[in-house]
Structures are given as C-alpha cells and as structure tokens.
C-alpha cells in the first residue's frame, strides 16, 4: 500500500502502459520506490478494444505495485494523441498574451475550439518575439480515457503530454548539456522528436514507430500482426551494412533488412524537422542524440542513427538525478531505464521542479477543481450564517415572543430543506445503483478481449509449417480428473457439448449461433457435476477448447506433441494436461494420404461464461 505522500505516476502509451511510485527524502532527493509495465495490443485492426485493454492493464499494475485504488495519480498520454504547435507572438505586454493565444488557438487547432481541451505556456526565446507552446486534444478522447482511469479507482490530478514530460526529465537529468540535443522517443505508433537548447524546447511527432516495423514484417512474410510482433521482439535487429548482414544467418539478415527499410524514412524526417527548427524558430542543429521508448530496444538501432545522422548516440537515462529504492530490480532497471522518462517527468512536476507544466484538464477533473475552489467560500458563508443566527438569538433571549418567532422561522427553513433533501437522497441511491451497473458493464466490455487473447496465445505457441488448425470449438462439460478432488484417481467421464451450432455457417442474420446446452446432462452426470458442488448451474461455463486439425510429412505427428508441450509450458490461458490425456485422435502413420487428422482438448485455466458468450453472438 502506497504511503499518503507517495507520488504515483502513470504513462499511457499506444502499446506500453507503465506505472511508478516515487518518494521525496527530507533533503529533497526524489527516489524511485517501484515501477512496473505491461503491454496492450498495438494492432491497428484492434483499435476498438484499446480502451478496455487500458483499463485492464492499469488494474493489473495497481495490484502488482500494491497501490491503493483511491490513490491520486498524474498521467501522460502519447504524443500521437495530442496536437502541438509552437506559435510566435509579437512583443506585447504580458497582460494581453492570454487573449492573443486564445485567438491563435482558434486559427491553428484543426477542430472547433469548443470541442477540444487545450493549454499553453510561454517559452524561453532567443529574440524579442514571444513564443508559446500550444497543446490540444479532442475533448471526447481525453474524457473517455480519463473515465477509464477513474474506473480503476484512481483520482486524476494532472494530465500531461508525453513529449512535455520527456523534455522535463531530460532537462533535469542532463543540466550540463551545451548546444542543442535531440531526444528521439520511439513509441509504438509515433516517434517523438524533442529538441532541447538551453531551456528552449521544440517537439514534433512523426508517424513512424514500432507498429510500422511490425506491419512491414507482417506484410513481407504474410503473417498476422501478433506473429510479426513476436518475430520483431525475439529475433529482430537493425541491419547496418553488407558486412554486418553477411555475418548473420539468411533468415536473420532478411528480417534485419526489413526492419532497416521500415526505419529508413525516419532519418529524412529528422533532417526535415531540424531544418524547420532552425529556419522557423532560430534553433541550431543538434550535436548529440538520445534514444528512448520501446523502439530503442532493437539491437544496433543506436549504430543505425549514428551512421545516418553522423552524431553521437546514447540511451536516455532519466534516473541520473534520482535515487533508487531497495525494492527495485537493478538488472531490470538497467535494461528499461530509457523507457521511464515520462514517469520521472511527471514525478518532477509533482515536486514543482519542471519549467514546462502543460495542464490538460478532463471534464471530471475540472468539476472537482471547481468544487474544491468553491468549498472554502461555502464553508465561510455557512459559518457567517450560523454566527448571524447566534448573535440574533443572543440579543433576543429576553424577548420571548421574538424568540418563538425566530424558532418558527428556523423550523420552517429546516422543513423547507427537508423537502429538498428527500429527492436528493433518492437521486443518491439511483446514482449508487448506476455505478454498480456501470462497473458490471465495464467488466463485460473488458471480457470481450478474452477470445482475442485466447486466439493470440494459441497462435503464439501453436505454429508449425507441418501442422494447421481447421476447427476451434469451445465446449462445456469438461472436468479434469487430475484436479477433481473427488475423483480418487479415477478417470472422469466428460460429457462434452459444443457451444456453437454445427450449422452456424448457414444461420440467418439476427439469429444466435449459440447451441442449446443439455442442462440435464450437466446436472445429472456423475463426475462432471461435482465441479458444480451439487447444484444445477444457471449458466454453464466454457471449460475447454476442442481443437481439430491436420499434420503432414513424416514424423509430422511428433510436431503435434511438441506444440502441445509448448502450450503446457508457456501458455497463460490453457491449463494443458499430459499429452496422452490431451489427444483424442492422432494417428502416427499417413499411409497414402497427404495429411492426417488430429483432435485435442485444451482445458482453460479460467472458465468463460456462456451467458457472456451468448450475448456476443447476438
């Protein structure tokens, strides 16, 4: 459980969600107490499932770090989500800047100004002109994201943009930098270019990131996004030159060239942005490059930029000016420190140590701030009212008639307030019920990703050019004998029923594809019923997946065994039994046939509700 004075920060990227807890010593030294991160699917085809995935990811991080679900948090959002402009203003009086910036915002933001949430800040400038940084985001997008954060129980304090948090962390940790430096933050969907010159800053987002590389791999090899992502993370590296690729295997060299080609657009975009920074903002060309973000994990990517930009390159270390707590895994931290810049920048902002404080305020946070701002005035007014009544009562103690009249007035006022209090109590109960319903709906919305996760996990572990799957069939009625406490070592009789109709392909639009489950078979069976503890289930649960497919070539049947072993040892979703219990059908001889059929049962670690699956099918 985090202490009351602990600073909790959260970075919501396109693919990586990270959270950290910081503390401040009596001497003012900021200390990283603990941190963790998790990933969500960056596949553009799965964009609709992004918000539910974010909610689940944040909840997981809260549990892992032991953070209270009512903790106040500062979080940053990816540079791709925001619209950033650097605007030059004439040398006018400071009193008139706000009105001029509001006018400029209407001219530059590509949406109606009433539909966006925006903020600005005056920057250091090398000329008599004033320069401001303007950051805006669609109001609906930020409010939806903040609702997801609120659903986890966290209370939002500030919302910042990722490039601004990175700038603050860079400036704090590298005070000795001279000239101009460039931080290249390679995210999943965009690459943030952050220029630092003294205390001046300039930033631009380029639509090249880790997802671009993954998409290029998927297209080159004809595989899906998840498989391509696994190839990039496990085997990917950046090809440097012919001499470099000649030392690699043919497969590694080919993959490295695909990655290099996907990155080839980035140096040109950096050069174009540098020219713009110099010509339009009076900046100078960078003399040093820092790398941050998940994309910086690719082997040889620093050498790639050194070769293309002809500048020294190193990984960004946002923890140079901080201390590290005893609970932090130092080995893991050394490998991931360059990805913690946003978390550190937000923590520094909480301590008031940052020159740039862009404040994007979601609607809910705005109302909370307004209520807090008005609270002292309301309390003071109430105290004055009470004091007035006290003085009035004291001066009229000797006047019985006036006292009785005053009592009558007070009684009438209390009665009047009671008249309003009862409807408010009713509304409060309705609100509490709506919160319960909302939590249930958000849980079911998050569960919509269960099937995506199952299929991705099966595809990740169950892949071979000699084996292919033709049927993925969820079933009910499966009970494992080796985990049934009442089986006494005897084989459990399973009554398997598919939850999908056999003729689902011919079903008309609007009809359900869910099969009718024989509840009597589930409730009257001997061993399977023990899983229900003697009760007839209202809605049976999907406890296993029946997979059918084919294998080919000599010894292809052994490939099936190996794939089952891979699932057993590495799957988060399938609780695979010993091979001989898993396989229902698998001949070991092809004979004259091109391929042989196999059928296996894969038990689920966590059963899925038939009620929810039926709702999806409709």
Q: Share the mean pLDDT of the chain.
A: 84
pLDDT at 3: 63
Residues 354/172, Cβ–Cβ less than 8 Å:
yes
Average pLDDT over residues 123-145: 87
Give residue 514's pLDDT: 82
pLDDT score, position 381 = 65
CA angle 507, 508, 510 (to 5 degrees): 115
The residue behind tokens 């103690």 is 397
Residues above pLDDT 90, as percent of the chain: 46
**Residue 307 pLDDT exceeds 50:** yes
* Residue 557, phi-psi category: left (phi > 0), alpha (psi -120 to 50), beta (remainder): alpha
CA torsion sign for 458, 459, 464, 465 is positive
Question: What is the average per-residue pLDDT within 31-40?
Answer: 94
What Rg do the C-alpha atoms of the chain give, in angstroms?
31
Mean pLDDT of 153-164: 94
pLDDT of residue 517: 83
According to the model, what pLDDT value does residue 403 have?
A: 62
143 DSSP assignment: H
Beta-carbon contacts of 485 under 8 Å, excluding residues fewer than 6 positions away, are 530
First-to-final CA distance of the chain = 42
Least confident among 253-257, 264-268, 572-576, 578-582: 578-582
Helix (H, G, I), strand (E, B), or coil: what is residue 279?
helix
| pLDDT value at residue 486 | 44
Mean per-residue pLDDT, 131-152: 93
Of the segments 36-50, 316-330, 487-501, 511-525, which one has the largest average pLDDT value? 316-330
For residues 42 and 210, give the distance between their C-alpha atoms in angstroms, rounded to a whole number: 9
**Is residue 497 helix, strand or coil?**
strand
Q: Is 28 exposed, middle or buried (0-12, 13-18, 19+ CB in 10 A)?
A: exposed
Q: Lowest-confidence range among 106-110, 278-282, 606-610?
A: 606-610
Identify the weakest region by mean pLDDT among 99-113, 184-198, 507-521, 546-560: 507-521
Would you say residue 273 has pLDDT above 90? yes
pLDDT bucket at 488, cuts 50 / 70 / 90: very low
For residue 84, what pLDDT is reported?
A: 92
Kind plus residue range of the DSSP H or E element containing 310:
none
CB atoms within 10 A of CB 4: 8
Give the pLDDT score at 618: 38
DSSP reduced 3-state for 270: helix
- Alpha-carbon dihedral 396, 401, 406, 410, rounded to 10 degrees: 140
- Provide the pLDDT for residue 58: 95
Highest mean pLDDT among 123-127, 359-363, 524-528, 587-591: 359-363
Q: What are 239's two structure tokens?
A: 């090809």
Lowest mean pLDDT among 79-83, 270-274, 311-315, 518-522: 518-522
390 pLDDT exceeds 90? no
Q: How many Å apart are CA 399 and CA 404, to the nearest integer?
A: 9
Sign of CA dihedral 110, 114, 117, 122: positive
Nearest to 330 by CA among 342, 321, 319, 341: 319
d(CA 519, CA 445): 27
CA–CA gap between residue 396 and residue 390 (Å, rounded): 10
More confident residue, 85 or 408: 85
Query: What is the rounded distance in angstroms from the CA atom of residue 53 to the CA atom of residue 61?
Result: 12
**pTM greater than 0.85:** no
Q: Which two tokens stand for residue 107?
A: 């001219």
Confidence of residue 484 (pLDDT cuts 50, 70, 90): very low
Q: For residue 25, give every residue at least 6 positions away whose Cβ sits within 8 Å of its Cβ, in sequence order, or none.
A: 31, 323
Residue 482: pLDDT over 70: no
Mean predicted confidence (pLDDT) in 235-256: 91
Q: Indicate if the pLDDT at residue 613 is higher than 60.
A: no
Q: Which pLDDT does position 611 carry in this prediction?
A: 63
Asked whether 123 and 154 are in contact (CB, 8 A), the reply is no
For position 521, what pLDDT does the model report? 73
Output the CA angle 266-267-272, nearest 5 degrees: 95
3-state secondary structure 477-519: CCCCCCCCCCCCCCCCCCCCEECECCCHHHCCCCCCCECCCCH
Q: Is the pLDDT of residue 490 over 70?
A: no
Picking from 8-12, 254-258, 488-492, which range would have the lowest pLDDT averaged per residue? 488-492
**pLDDT exceeds cutoff 70 at 535:** no
Per-residue pLDDT at 524: 53
The pLDDT, as a whole number, for residue 506 is 82
* Of residues 466 and 41, more confidently modeled: 466
Secondary structure (H, E, C), 12-74 = ECCCEEEEEEEEECCCCCEEEEEEEEEECCCCHHHHHHHHHHHHHHHHHHHHHHCCCCCCEEE
């Amino acid at each position: 459980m985090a202490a009351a004075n602990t600073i909790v920060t959260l970075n919501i990227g396109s693919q990586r969600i990270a959270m950290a807890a910081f503390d401040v010593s009596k001497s003012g030294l900021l200390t990283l107490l603990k941190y963790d991160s998790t990933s969500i699917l960056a596949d553009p085809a799965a964009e609709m499932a992004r918000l539910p995935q974010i909610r689940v990811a944040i909840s997981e991080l809260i549990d892992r770090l032991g953070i209270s679900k009512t903790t106040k948090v500062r979080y940053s959002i990816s540079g791709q989500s925001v619209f950033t402009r650097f605007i030059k203003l004439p040398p006018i009086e400071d009193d008139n800047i706000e009105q001029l910036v509001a006018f400029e915002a209407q001219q530059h933001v590509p949406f109606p100004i009433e539909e966006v949430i925006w903020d600005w800040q005056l920057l250091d400038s090398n000329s008599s002109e004033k320069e401001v940084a303007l950051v805006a985001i669609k109001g609906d997008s930020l409010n939806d994201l903040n609702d997801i954060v609120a659903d986890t129980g966290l209370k939002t304090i500030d919302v910042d943009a990722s490039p601004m948090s990175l700038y603050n962390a860079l400036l704090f940790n590298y005070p000795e930098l001279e000239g101009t430096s460039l931080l290249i933050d390679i995210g999943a969907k965009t690459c943030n270019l952050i220029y630092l010159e003294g205390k001046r800053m300039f930033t631009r987002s380029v639509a090249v990131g880790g997802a671009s590389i993954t998409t290029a791999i998927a297209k080159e090899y004809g595989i899906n996004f998840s498989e391509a992502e696994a190839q990039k993370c496990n085997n990917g590296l950046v090809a440097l030159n012919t001499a470099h690729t000649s030392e690699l295997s043919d497969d590694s060299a080919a993959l490295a060239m695909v990655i290099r080609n996907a990155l080839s657009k980035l140096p040109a975009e950096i050069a174009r942005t540098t020219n713009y920074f110099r010509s339009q903002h009076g900046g100078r060309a960078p003399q040093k490059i820092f790398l941050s973000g998940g994309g910086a994990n690719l082997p040889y990517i620093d050498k790639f930029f050194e070769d293309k930009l002809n500048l020294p390159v190193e990984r960004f270390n946002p923890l140079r000016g901080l201390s590290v707590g005893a609970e932090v895994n130092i080995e893991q931290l050394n490998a991931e420190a360059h990805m913690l810049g946003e978390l550190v920048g937000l923590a520094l902002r909480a301590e008031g140590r940052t020159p740039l404080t862009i404040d994007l305020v979601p609607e809910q946070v705005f109302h909370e701030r307004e209520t807090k701002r008005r609270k002292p005035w309301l309390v003071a007014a109430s105290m004055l009212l009470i004091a007035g009544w006290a003085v009035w009562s004291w001066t009229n103690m000797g006047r019985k008639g006036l006292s009785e009249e005053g009592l009558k007035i007070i009684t009438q006022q209390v009665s009047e307030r009671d008249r309003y209090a009862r409807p408010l109590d009713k509304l409060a109960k309705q609100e509490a019920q709506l919160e319960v319903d909302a939590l249930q709906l958000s849980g079911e919305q998050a569960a919509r990703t269960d099937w995506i996760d199952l299929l991705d996990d099966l595809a990740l572990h169950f892949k071979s050019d000699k084996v292919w799957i033709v049927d993925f069939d969820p079933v009910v009625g499966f009970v494992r004998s080796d985990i049934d406490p009442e089986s006494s070592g005897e084989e459990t009789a399973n009554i398997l029923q598919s939850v999908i109709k056999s003729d689902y392909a011919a079903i008309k639009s609007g009809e359900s594809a869910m099969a009718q489950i024989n509840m009597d078979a589930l409730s009257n069976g001997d061993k399977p019923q023990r899983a229900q503890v003697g009760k007839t289930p209202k809605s049976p649960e999907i406890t296993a997946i029946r997979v059918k497919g084919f294998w080919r070539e000599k010894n292809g049947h052994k490939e099936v065994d190996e794939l089952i072993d891979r699932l057993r040892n590495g799957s988060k979703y399938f609780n695979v039994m010993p091979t001989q219990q898993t396989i229902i059908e698998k001949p070991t001889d092809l004979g004259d046939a091109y391929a042989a059929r196999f059928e296996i049962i894969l038990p689920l670690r966590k059963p899925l509700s038939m009620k929810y699956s039926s709702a999806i099918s409709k």
